[in-house]
Structure formats: C-alpha cells, structure tokens
Chains A and B, each alone.
Chain A
Amino acid sequence: MSENIMTVARAMVECLKAEGVKHVFGYPGAAICPFYDELISSDIEHILVRHEVNGGHAASGYARMTGKAGVCIATSGPGALNLITAIATAYMDSIPIVAITGQVNSDQIGRDVFQEADITGSAEPFVKHSYIVKDPSSICDIIKKAFYIAETGRPGPVLIDVPMDVQDMECEFFYPEKVEIRSYKPTTEGNKLQIKRVADAILKADRPLICAGGGVFLSGAKDELKQLVHICNIPVINTMMGLSNIDMSDELYFGMMGMHGVKAANYAVSHCDLLILLGARMGDRAVVALKDLKNTTIIHIDIDPAEIGKNVEVTTPVVGDIKKILTQLLAVIREEKHTEWINELSEIRSSSETVPETRKDAVNPKQFIQTLNSHIEKDAVIVADVGSNQIWTANNIRLTEGRFLTAGGMGTMGYSLPAAIGAKKACPDRQVVALCGDGSMQMQFMELATAVQHGINVKLVVFVNNYLGMVRELQDKLYSRQIAVDITGSPCFDMIAQAYGIKAENVTDISQADQAIRNMLSSDRPYLLQVFVDKEEKSII
C-alpha cells in the first residue's frame, strides 16, 4: 500500500502542515475525534480554548497579525453553532479564517441525531464559502481551496464540515500546489485608466483627504500609504478598522472619523474637495461623517467591487488590491504641498484636543489609556473589546508602529481576550494588551485558563463601572432613561484572575496607574489590571 494512502483525518492534518499551519485553536468533541487523534500526535500546536466562539476569535486575532488564515476547530452541533458568532465577526472584518467542524456520520445527516446541526446552512450568510466533505478523495483539494479562498481577494472565513465517518475513511494524500477555480478570479491589478483618473484628481484637488480602512492591513500596504501621504502631503484619517495603519503621531494624521470619531477627522471629511476611500467599506458608523457632502469628488479603492457604491455614491471606482494600486499610483503622482489645508486641519486638531481631567474617587479611563501610551513598546498590539472601552481606546491610544485590533464590524463583546491570545501566538515577541469593560469581561473570562494553560503572556485591562456604558449612553440620549444597563453584582475581577493563578492589581486612582502598568508590562506572565472608572465617563470626546 502506498504511503500516501491514509485516513481523511490524517490527510487533514497533513494538509494543514503543507499549508504551513503552526497553531490551531479549538475545542474537541465526539464528531471531530478522528481528526483530533491525528492532530495531537502532529507538531501543530493546538490551543485548547474554553468556549468554541473564543477559538474562532483567537484564530481571527492570529490571522489579523499573520495575514495568513487562522484555523479554528469545533465538533458537530453545539460546538459548531458556538463558532458562528466568531465566523460572522471575521466575515464583517474581512478576516481570513478556516473553520473545521466535525459532523455526524454521513448516513445519519438529516435525521436530527444527537449533536446534529446543519452548520453549513446556518453559517451560510457569514462565510465566504463552505464545504461539506462527502467524498474522502476530495479532502485535500477542498482544504487547499479553503485556504486559497479565505486568503485571496477580499479575505473571509471558509468553513469545512467533515462527517465523522468520512474522517475515518481512506484517501490518497496529495496536496495540490495550485488552485484553479473557474468561478473565482478576484481582480488585483487596478485599471490603468482609473489610476490615471485618481492621479488627475489628486493633482486637481486643493483639499484632498485619504480615509484609510482595514483593507490597508489586509493587503499589507502600510508603507505605500505612508509614501502617498507624504509625497502628495495629503491628510489622512482612519475608520475604526484602519486604526494604526498609519503612525498616529504623524503630523498628517487626524484621527478616527465617524459617529465615535474625533472632531478633526470629521471636519476634514466635511471640508475636503477630494475624498479617497482606501480599503474602507464605509459602514454606517463611519458613513455618518459623509452625510453633508455635496461637491466632493469621491474615489473608492477596494478589492471588493460590491463595496463600491454600496453605502457611498462614488465619482471614481477603482477595484483591486490596495498595495498594487498604490504602487501603480506612486509611479504617476508628483509632489504637492497643500499647506493651507493642512494648517487648517492642524488648527482644528490642536484646538479640539482636550487633556482628560483627573477624577476624584475613580479613574478617568481616557487618562489611564494615555498613561498606558507612555509605557507600551512601540510595536505593541492593543486589542479593544466592544463598548465604551473600545471608543476610549480607539481615540486615546497612540500607536506608532503598533497594531490596533477590534471587532469593528460586528461589535462582538468578549472578543478582546481570545483575540489577544491569538495575536500573542502569532507574535510572541510583541506586547499584547487587551482592554475591555466589565460587561465584555464576563463574556470571556474563561479564557484566562487558556492563557495560563498554554503560557500565553497576554495582559488584560478591565474597566469597571458596573454599567454597560455605551448602551447606557444610547438609552440616556434616545429614551432619557436607563434600562438593563446596570450590571451591579459582577464579581471582583482581581479575585477571578487570582483564582486562575493570574496576578492582578486594582487601580482606583490615576496616581496608581503608572506603577500598576509598569508591573503588568514587566511581568513575563498573564496579568490583569482592574481599573475602577468614573461611572459617568462618556465614550465620545
């Protein structure tokens, strides 16, 4: 018998190895047993999470840092269903992940047997593509295609559902080198005529502005963006997903736009005469800044043609990979100044920037984050959860060469700790700090065990105000009342951390922040800071 004949389960592991996968995140169960049996004896490191959704978020954090698809694994039925929120989160943020799920035996599918769920059907709205493996000889081809689809074009999650009996069947292992999918050919090169139009528009504009989104990371175009900004002296702002794709201390950087953005960025949008949307899908939270535009020329550069013209009417669409398009563009542009426009924006920026005040009896979270800025290494990875903590972090963190991660599109609470775990596995040499609220903390703190078990040195800052703060703000504003936002009764998170064997400190006054942050960052183990913040602190600046 040829040595290439093996079980599907073994072939799956061989495929992952051939794909260069080093770490996977998952949670075992009955229907995925054959695969796990092979996985555990391989040299791929399996990070055992404490809830399937967090395996998905960890894979997503990993993918955001490596640019390669992150892999998460779950069993059939509830295990697979628990993954859906993470898959949807990755889908909204265009993050490549390959999710592998076990399925009940193929002859039992459709009979409502124990732990059966139609996962390909349930996850359909949130995946770029999905497969259910029925023919054992198709497994290698499917895994190759799954990685290819997840990582190319506009990245996204791909699901592979493998019935338990199929995992035990024999197949011939042969990992294809190339993929050919006749119906999937993403455009990467920008159309030359359109590039020329962009260059002409830049030349013509007096008040140009670049709005850089998450696509800049996905295509690895940070350097090209920086060059464009500096050669043409074009001010640049970010969507939330784009934060840290340009050095935040750059003179030409004017902050985050949109509903939760800063004044300078939103002023820039409403006063520019040329707006270049760069890998930004212009979600509704960002697009509010564009509502008053009238005679602005809008250029939208994106790899997904379906995003162009979806939420914003565009003058010039350019479809393709941002890195390639910017490279093409850099070859045809020339130096420009725009001094007046830049001065105008700089003035708005300096006059609207406020120094957060020190609060009595509680910490001003904005002040805490600004203190954190002076301690983190310059390439630190900061993971913000969802809610007030996210906006405080987005608008106050100052990253130069670091990376900001968040669940921008889906707004999934409980994302930060598992994503930080994934990010740290991807970049073990970089500081990884997750910041969350007391609400989101309670959706994820089981993952402290994962960090401990696998020795993953992540830092966690929990802002405590006994409120679901952002919802409270909305209810105050829209309904003049507070309902169901009070989460009094939450545990002491320092004691929770200690129960997991993790060192924790409390920060009740800003004067303690400096030392506490120092202690946290200098520790070579996971560390938790519980920061008691002013209950009235709002998310907007």
Chain B
Amino acid sequence: MKHTISVLVENHAGVLARVAGLFARRAYNIDSLAVGVTADENVSRITIVADGDDYILEQILKQLNKLIDVIKVRAVNESELLTRELVLVKVNCTPAQRSELISIAKITEAKISDISLNTITLELSDYSNKIKTFEELLRPYGIKEIVRTGTVAIQRGSASLTI
C-alpha cells in the first residue's frame, strides 16, 4: 500500500542523506521523494511516497522521528490530501501532427512549453494517475524524453503541517 509522508526537517547540509539512508538501511521502499524549502527558510519539507503495510508505515514514522534533524512527521490519508507531480514530456511532432497534440494538451490542461520543427514539449501538473494517462496518450507519437518530479502533497481544507 502507498503512503504519502510529509517530513519537516532542519534545512541543514546532510539531512536528506540521513533520511534517504534510513530508508535504504531499513529496507523501506521509496516510490518518490521531493524536497523543498518551506515558508520558514530554516525548515525544509520532504514529501515521501513509500510502499508498505501498516507495520512498515508505523516503523517509518517512528524511525524518522528518531532522527535529530526531523522536526515533524505526518502520514495523511490519500483522501485528505491534495497531491501534485510535475512532468515535462518531449514528443515527436511533425507539423501535420501539431493540431492533434495541441488538442490533447487542451483536454488534459497541459501547457505547451516548447516547440521545434519536429518536437513539442508539454508540461502538466496533476496527480499521479492523471500523469500516467497523459503519458499513455502521448506514447503513440513517440516520446523522446520525459522528466518527472516526485509527488508533493498538502492537506485539503484548513489543516496544515507547520512547526
């Protein structure tokens, strides 16, 4: 089962290595990981999507909490979360195919970020499954390159994770 875990950490050198090392040495699986500074520049937020049963999730949360640089850890139910990933896809695109691809972009609410004689680069920010569908739509045209971020997540409604 997939879990989305938000971790607030001190914004020091080496903290990411500590968090990533913990997952590696205790054999927890990371699906994706995203890091960025928060509104407080001394604090970074790491969003981890991890795979495992309830026992593993409990262990991950407890072990993360033991790291001295970890300020807060929270795992929130999928249904209470707003999640986003960003993807950039460079697709083969002959001048004749342009209108087709532009209409795919329109329907999926992707942005056309770059265009050349034979390629088009589309940008989409959405939740994980939507991005998967988007990729499948583009695959028949020939994907030259795809770049995807890890998931970032924020709680729906007024609840928030701050220090």
User: B18 near A: Cβ within 8 Å?
Assistant: yes
B140 on interface, CB distance cutoff 8 Å: no
Residues of chain A with a CB closer than 8 A to B71's CB: 182-183
* Contact (Cβ within 8 A) B68 A121: no
- Of the listed residues B18, B21, B71, the one surrounded by the most CB atoms of chain A closer than 10 A to its CB is B18
Asked whether, in the complex, the Cβ of A125 is within 8 Å of the Cβ of B21, the reply is: yes
A124 contacts B68, CB within 8 Å? no
Q: Is there an interface contact between A121 and B62, defined as CB atoms closer than 8 Å? A: no
Cβ of A303 to closest chain B Cβ, rounded Å: 11
Q: Is the CB of A310 within 8 A of B68?
A: no
A90-129 vs B, CB cutoff 8 Å, 1 = contact: the mask equals 0000000000000000000000000000001100110011
In the complex, which residues of chain B have a beta carbon less than 8 angstroms from the beta carbon of A306? 59, 62-63, 65-66
Known: A183-B69, A305-B62, A309-B58. A121 touches B10 (CB 8 A): no
Interchain Cβ contacts within 8 Å, total number: 33
Is there contact, CB below 8 Å, between A149 and B17? no
Return the contact of B70 from the options A120, A183, A305 (Cβ within 8 A): A183
| CB-contacts of B34-78 with A (<8 A) | 55, 58-59, 62-63, 65-66, 68-72
Closest CB-CB distance, B162 to chain A, in whole Å? 12
In this assembly, does A206 line the interface, its C-beta being within 8 Å of a C-beta of chain B?
A: no
Residues of A with C-beta under 8 A to B25: 125
CA distance A128 to B9 in the complex (A): 16
Assess the A183–B10 pair: CB atoms within 8 A: yes
Task: List residues of chain B with CB within 8 A of the CB of A125.
Answer: 21, 25
CA distance A132 to B13 in the complex (A): 10
Per-residue CB contact flags for chain B residues 1-43 toward chain A (1 = under 8 Å, else 0) read: 0000000011000100110010001000000000000000000
B68's contact among A184, A304, A305, by CB below 8 Å, is which? A184
How long is the Cα–Cα vector from A390 to B59 in the complex, in angstroms? 32
Q: Is B107 an interface position by the 8 A CB rule?
A: no
CA distance A182 to B55 in the complex (A): 27
Chain A 124-163 interface mask (CB, 8 Å, partner B; 1/0): 1100110010000000000000000100000000000000
Question: When the two chains form their complex, are residues B163 and A149 in contact, meaning their CB atoms are under 8 A apart?
Answer: no
> Which residue of chain A lies nearest to B163 when distances are taken between CB atoms in the complex?
A182
Q: Is A181 engaged at the interface, CB distance under 8 Å to the other chain?
A: yes
Interface of B is mostly: helix
Contact residues, A154-191 vs B (CB, 8 A)? 181-184
Q: Which chain A residues border B68 with CB–CB below 8 Å?
A: 128-129, 149, 181, 183-184
How many residues of B are in contact with the other chain, CB < 8 A? Answer: 20
Q: Is the CB of A124 within 8 A of B21?
A: yes
Q: Is the CB of A124 within 8 A of B18?
A: yes
Residue of A nearest to B24 (CB): A125
Among B14, B59, B66, max chain A CB count under 10 A is at B66
Q: Is the CB of A304 within 8 A of B163?
A: no
Q: Closest residue to A154 on the B side, CB-wise?
A: B66
**Known: A124-B18, A124-B21, A183-B10. Contact between A310 and B59, CB under 8 A?**
yes
Complex: A114 Cα to B163 Cα, angstroms: 43
- Bound-state Cα–Cα, A182 to B63, Å: 17
> Nearest Cβ distance between residue A187 and chain B, in whole angstroms?
11
Q: Are A124 and B17 CB-contacts (below 8 A) given A183-B10, A183-B69, A184-B68?
A: yes
**Which chain A residues (33-70) contact chain B, with CB distance < 8 Å?**
none
Q: Which residue of A lies closest to B26 (CB)?
A: A125
Q: Which residues of B contact A129 (CB under 8 A)?
A: 68
Instruction: Specify which chain A residues have a CB less than 8 angstroms from the CB of B72 in the assembled complex.
Output: 183
A77 vs chain B, min Cβ distance (A)? 19
Chain A residues numbered 442-473 whose CB sits less than 8 Å from any CB in chain B: none
Considering the complex, give the chain A residue whose CB is closest to the CB of B62.
Answer: A306
Residue of B nearest to A149 (CB): B68
Q: Which residue of chain A is the closest to B66 with respect to CB atoms?
A: A306
Q: Which residues of A lie under 8 Å from residue B66 when comparing CB positions?
A: 304, 306
| Cα A124 to Cα B25 with chains together (Å) | 10
Q: Which residue of B lies closest to A313 (CB)?
A: B55
Verify B17–A121 contact, CB threshold 8 A.
Answer: yes
Residues in B with CB closer than 8 Å to A305 are 62, 65
A183 to B59, CA, bound (A): 18
Chain A residues with CB below 8 A from B65, complex form = 305-306
Distance of B82 from chain A, by nearest CB (Å): 26
Would you give the shortest CB distance from A284 to chain B, in whole angstroms?
15
Contact of A120 among B9, B14, B55, B58 (CB under 8 A): B14
- Cα distance, A159 to B17, chains bound together (Å): 16
Interface residues of A (CB under 8 A from B): 120-121, 124-125, 128-129, 132, 149, 181-184, 304-306, 309-310
* A-B CB contact pairs (8 Å), 17 listed: A121-B17, A125-B21, A129-B68, A149-B68, A181-B68, A182-B71, A183-B9, A183-B10, A183-B68, A183-B69, A183-B70, A183-B71, A183-B72, A305-B65, A306-B59, A306-B63, A309-B55
The 8 closest A-B pairs by CB, nearest first: A306-B62, A183-B71, A129-B68, A125-B25, A184-B68, A124-B21, A305-B62, A306-B63
Given contact pairs A128-B68, A183-B70, enumerate 14 new A-B contacts (beta carbons under 8 Å): A120-B14, A124-B18, A124-B21, A125-B25, A132-B14, A149-B68, A181-B68, A183-B9, A183-B71, A304-B66, A305-B62, A305-B65, A306-B66, A309-B58
